Amino acid sequence: MQQLNLQTLWPALLDHCHALQERPQLPNNNQCFQAVTHKAASAKPITRCHARRKAAWNGQAARPAELEAKEAGRMPIPSGAEIGSLAGAHQSNRHCKSQRRSLQGGRTYSEGRSEQSEDGGLRGGRAAQEERPSKWVKDGASPESIAALADLGITRPSHIQVEAYRALLRSKAQHVLLADQAGSGKTLAYLMPILQQIRAAEKAAKQQISTPKQPKAVIIAPTTELCVQILGLAKAIAQTMPFRSVAATGGRPLKTQREALAQGTDVLIGTPGRLRELLNKGDLSLDSCRTIVLDEADLLLGSAGSTEGMFAEQVAPLQAAAPVSSRFVLVTATLPTHTFEQLQQDFPGITAAIGPNLHRTSLGAAIQLVDCSGGDAINEDTGIARKTDALQQLLDERSDTRTLVFCNKIENCRRAENALKRWQPKAGDRVKVLPYHKAVSAEQQRSNLLAFMAGSENQQRIVLIATDRFSRGIDTSHVGHVVLFDFPRDPSEYIRRVGRTARGAAGTGQSSILVLGRQVQLAQQIVERNNNGMRVHRAPQLED
């Protein structure tokens, strides 16, 4: 098969059709990916099934460090928290099977996924699993931290959590970068060492002091939803490891947030705009702030290439207000080369802790490519019609209680939503269709999100149709099926979208990618790269 230059092919495809745009993404070892083609009913169906991935990257023996598993799971959420949080769970995989079945209209597809192994699989068996708690202790976790984690049901750290303890507690680096795949437990990775430092300082001073308006750590996240999720995790930890945390985001009463800051807090979690507003009004001082975290740093610093403007607008004022000695912790699931180079310029001497699974999908993900071309003539209207038909057919074939559909723009969200509201499922199930994008009021977005995130508490089938706003950091452990209605505009969003499933302790799920025209060729190349263990794009300091 002729190898394409994905770096140059991507821009060319952008000119071909508004619906297509993306570069490849990469998963983890021994993961099964399936390519599927969908033609018009009169066309001959084509099936392509890719074998499970090789146990080595680029023909080389797999290294134990590169075989570290992803972790994710549901955290116990304290009363009043709105969204679930991430927790660590060591996982591995074993031999996967392929099953074949037919869809309406003559389309055939294959699917497979990696499964969890009881003995640690390729990661060295049970002995390797049992070694990791001692590694966590060795790398700096205090007895109080371990007790707090145990109360959350976490007994073993993920790879990035071990690396975070080393970088944040053992190294003398002023600034630290944490980068690993979606669902690897990065929130817990930075939060626990920071809290441990706060608690250690209090014990040394023999008193717990929260100074009004002066948090000891500030966590900046791009969306209200992510801030609330981080707050939920912080509140859960605080049940065992006492500290005070406050969230300050747009769309919530400013007065309440000002009053909370005036009472004193240890950890402040907020969106950039609201934090700047509090800073400008004199309700926030960073004089006592030791650590500032940029969660989703690639977005906060401008992942699309306009890093200078984004940095000056969202981060520079906060950096300028903090003491020179403050440590910045930059957290991301995607790290394009230009972003890493910008970080090195803005944070000289930054220490990078990069997980082995960066720019790869999770072990338990099954990837399905669905060709919706239906002939040589492709335009936006016919493409949307074919994709809505394919979406309905996929939903008929699966019974997931939670399905997440990603579109590139609000207009396509509305088209998909309208098509599904007119659709009658074969099984006669009631399927609730909810939108989640900026054209919906903030209150309705919040209501739809809470309904979708209810998980096991609500077994009604719900399909959430969203833009990429939903792909940023939100824990979606209970989502069994992700549909990429539109091909993502860039490789980072491809990784994030597919990373919304196969999270959690079970670590399984499916992503169905609807493609048109020349997107098919690129999508097949993505699958080939996944099967060969290569990344979507290079991870800094790591080689493919």
Each residue of 139-148: pLDDT tens digit? Answer: 789 999 999 9
Whole-angstrom Cα distance, residue 451 to residue 157? 30
pLDDT in tens, 65-79: 332 333 333 333 333
User: Do 544 and 535 meet the contact criterion of CB atoms below 8 Å apart?
Assistant: yes
Walk me through the domains of the chain, giving residue ranges and CATH numbers. 6-57+109-114+363-531 (3.40.50.300), 158-354 (3.40.50.300)
Other C-beta atoms within 10 Å of 82: how many?
15
Beta bridge partners of 76: none
pLDDT in tens, 351-382: 999 988 888 877 777 888 999 987 666 677 88
Q: What is the pLDDT of residue 541?
A: 60
Q: Which of 467, 525, 491, 465 is nearest to 361 (CA)?
A: 491
Q: Which two tokens stand for residue 77?
A: 């959420």
* Residue 173: pLDDT over 80: yes
Whole-angstrom Cα distance, residue 38 to residue 396? 16
Q: Give 2-7 contacts, CB < 8 A, sequence gap 24+.
A: 3/525, 4/521, 4/522, 4/525, 6/522, 6/525, 6/526, 6/529, 7/537
Please give the backbone phi and psi of residue 436, each rounded to the nearest 5 degrees, phi first: -150, 90
Is the model more confident about 295 or about 54?
295
Q: What is the pLDDT of residue 528?
A: 75
User: Do 322 and 175 meet the contact criterion of CB atoms below 8 Å apart?
Assistant: no
Other C-beta atoms within 10 Å of 134: how many?
9
Say how many residues make up the chain. Answer: 544
Whole-angstrom Cα distance, residue 427 to residue 438? 32
Q: Is the dihedral of CA 426, 432, 436, 438 positive or negative?
A: positive
* Residue 479: pLDDT over 60: yes
Q: Is 8 exposed, middle or buried (0-12, 13-18, 19+ CB in 10 A)?
A: exposed
The CA dihedral of 518, 524, 530, 531, to the nearest 10 degrees, is -170
Residue whose pair of structure tokens reads 């790869």 in the numeric block: 360
pLDDT in tens, 325-335: 999 999 999 88
Q: Which two tokens stand for residue 169?
A: 């507690």
Q: Return mean pLDDT, the chain.
A: 73
Reported as half-sphere exposure (CB side, CA atoms, 13 A), residue 413 has a value of 23
Q: Which of 4, 16, 28 is nearest to 539 (CA)?
A: 28
Whole-angstrom Cα distance, residue 304 to residue 374? 32
How far is the first Cα of the chain from the last one, in angstroms, to the nearest whole number?
A: 20
Whole-angstrom Cα distance, residue 64 to residue 62? 7
pTM of the entire predicted model: 0.73
In whole angstroms, how far apart are CA 461 and each of 75, 393, 448, 464? Answer: 22, 15, 13, 10
Q: 3-state class of 109 per DSSP?
A: strand
Q: Which two tokens stand for residue 42?
A: 């009169």
pLDDT in tens, 256-294: 999 999 999 999 999 998 999 999 999 999 999 999 999
* Residue 48: pLDDT over 80: no
